[in-house]
Amino acid sequence: MSKKLTKNQRTILQLIEAKETETSAQNLHFEMQQTGLKIGLATVYRALKLLKVEGKIQERVTPEGESFYSKIGMAEHHHHHLNCVNCGQSYPLDVCPISQKITDWCQTQKFKVYYHTLEFFGLCADCQTQADNSECFNAN
């Protein structure tokens, strides 16, 4: 399914691969405009969609619906998040509790996973002090 990338798609991929943190489409658009490239925001979004479908980048969507993009295939960039539904703060988790299970499942199903996300939603410590301090969700 791999297609030859356009100049804009290659540029966007290079910008994402050069970053140590995730970035938004708006930031990528701004960076490209600053270097003199004439590209519309809609074109950036189309390129990001194609790069994601091709398995070259990954997307994370915040509780507010904003998308962030990052490179994939590197262990140091594989993290999950605790997201506060009140203030919008996002805290990365340094461990993946399901990584081995996914690897095992993919081998038996002959399925190739490009990336996965795991998001938890709740209240951060600051927001808990301002709200009802109810029990944490028990997954057992």
Q: Is residue 138 over pLDDT 60? A: no
pTM: 0.64
Domains defined along the chain, listed by start: 1-73 (1.10.10.10), 78-140 (3.30.1490.190)
pLDDT tens digits, 8-53: 999 999 999 999 888 999 999 999 999 999 999 999 999 999 999 8
Look up residue 2 and give its two tokens: 């791999």
